[in-house]
Amino acid sequence: MIALAACWAAAPAARGTESSPPPTATPPASLQPPPTPAGEPVPTPTLPAPPQSSPTPAGEPAPTAAPPVPEPSPAIAWTELRYAAHKLFLSASTTIQTAWVPAAELATLLRRPEKGRAVAVPADGAVAVSLTSELPFGRDERVTLWLDPASGAALGGEKTTLGGSAYHKFMRFTEGGLYTWRSSPRNAREAARGPEDWTDRSRDLVEPAVQPPQGVAVTDPYALLFLVSAARLDRKDSSLRLVLLSGDRYVEIALAGGGLSYQRQSFQESWPGGARRRVGNVLVRTVRGTARAVGAAETTNDVDLGFLGMRGALTLFVEVGTGIPVAFSGRAEYIGNLTVRLTRAVLVAPPADAAGAEPSPGPPPLSPP
């Protein structure tokens, strides 16, 4: 359904289907790999170099202490993550942003489905998870989801895909499936205009024949990385079980935290008042996910996750201490094995080892959901 690898699968012309938006400094000290959590074996670094911070430019004062920042809610350490994938001669990127949507605003964003009973809306508001993707073959995609902050259930969303097979749709989750308002351009003239001028319109309610148990929260594949991070799967013995609506069927994915290791990573990191480039070993926990269609007895590698075009099993490498997935891999249809890596993280507050990082005016504001 979404983002990076979904575009790879759309490459064959015959496919013709949818590819569906603060710190306390410490005295300068050399950065070391983070300590191993108590009670776990110490992993052996794959490379000896620890993460390095950019030095303070000559002639400029070192960063000074700033007021402490409250803990983020929910328990995610970031407001923006950017990922990139490369395969053969193709490349793509996806940026994920989060924001809070008050109840009054949410009421104007969610439509009332003409069929089915809409999923109940939280009284206080919702979390908006937005993804902006730059895909091969001139395709661009923008998705916004609104999630129940307590359960992670998807309430609704909006998706726009530009380029080949352009379309726009509003989505409203129901107790038995998903109601969609879809529009696409009828001709090249309409395609050159915005989605508001597209006149090929339809409405549809998808209700899979096999339903999850009553009361189980159903979410959207686009929310997977956000929910993995919020569940803090970097902790020992952590696990997460999600039910996703992928296409016309429900899929259950079970994720479980495994052992620790050091992985060499390179990505930009920023926060209000500071920034650095991290190049070196990062302590990660390996999280493995297995999938099965709801109602099936066994897991399988043929289940379409609807997540970055991947099918079946997933492996994620989650940074210990932040819960941020710094890389993940799986199998994409038509492409084979694919690895997606973190290239940029905008943090809510400075990391504990941020002393000596280069001053920065702070991250750009989040785009509205």
Q: What does the mean pLDDT of the chain come to?
A: 79
The 8-class DSSP code of residue 190 comes to H
Task: Report the pLDDT value the prediction gives residue 358, as an integer from 0 to 100.
Answer: 55
For 249-292, the pLDDT digits (tens) are: 999 999 999 999 999 999 999 999 999 999 999 999 999 999 88
* Mean pLDDT calculated for residue range 23-42: 47
- In the predicted structure, residue 138 carries a pLDDT above the cut 50: yes
Among 10-14, 210-214, 328-332, 333-337, the range with the most confident prediction by mean pLDDT is 210-214
Distance, CA of 113 to CA of 180 (rounded, Å): 8
- In the predicted structure, residue 132 carries a pLDDT above the cut 80: yes
pTM of the predicted model, to two decimals? Answer: 0.77
Dihedral over Cα of 159, 131, 117, 206: its sign: positive
- In the predicted structure, residue 294 carries a pLDDT above the cut 70: yes
Reported as a pLDDT band with limits 50, 70 and 90, residue 347 is very high
Q: What share of the chain is helix, strand, coil (3-state, %, to 5)?
A: 10, 45, 45
Task: Report the pLDDT value the prediction gives residue 48, as an integer from 0 to 100.
Answer: 36
- Angstrom CA distances, 176 to 117, 144, 211, 286, stand at 8, 21, 7, 34
For 168-216, the pLDDT digits (tens) are: 999 999 999 999 999 999 998 988 888 899 999 999 999 999 999 999 9
* Mean pLDDT calculated for residue range 65-93: 70
Task: Report the pLDDT value the prediction gives residue 274, as an integer from 0 to 100.
Answer: 95
Joined together, the tokens standing for residue 357 give 């990082």
Reported as a pLDDT band with limits 50, 70 and 90, residue 295 is confident
User: Is omega for the bond preceding 74 within 30 degrees of 0, making it cis?
Assistant: yes
Residue 315, burial from CB neighbour count under 10 angstroms (0-12, 13-18, 19+): middle
Task: Report the pLDDT value the prediction gives residue 308, as an integer from 0 to 100.
Answer: 63
Do 156 and 178 form a contact (C-beta atoms < 8 A)? no
Do 255 and 240 form a contact (C-beta atoms < 8 A)? yes
Q: Which parts of 206-315 fold into alpha helices (H)? A: 224-230
Using alpha carbons, select from 160, 208, 339 the residue that is nearest to residue 263. Answer: 339
Phi, psi of 314 (to 5 degrees): -130, 150
Phi, psi of 273 (to 5 degrees): 95, 0
User: Between these two residues, 53 and 255, which has the higher pLDDT value?
Assistant: 255
Distance, CA of 1 to CA of 304 (rounded, Å): 9
Among 33-42, 85-94, 222-231, the range with the most confident prediction by mean pLDDT is 222-231
- In the predicted structure, residue 86 carries a pLDDT above the cut 60: yes
- Angstrom CA distances, 206 to 143, 175, 245, 310, stand at 19, 11, 10, 22
Distance, CA of 106 to CA of 211 (rounded, Å): 27
- In the predicted structure, residue 29 carries a pLDDT above the cut 70: no
Do 163 and 140 form a contact (C-beta atoms < 8 A)? yes
Distance, CA of 360 to CA of 338 (rounded, Å): 34
Task: Report the pLDDT value the prediction gives residue 41, as an integer from 0 to 100.
Answer: 64
Task: Report the pLDDT value the prediction gives residue 177, as an integer from 0 to 100.
Answer: 97
Q: What is the share, in percent, of the chain residues with pLDDT greater than 70? A: 72
Q: In sequence order, what DSSP letters do the residues of 191-215 get, joined into one string?
A: HTS-GGG--EEEEEEE--SS-PPTT
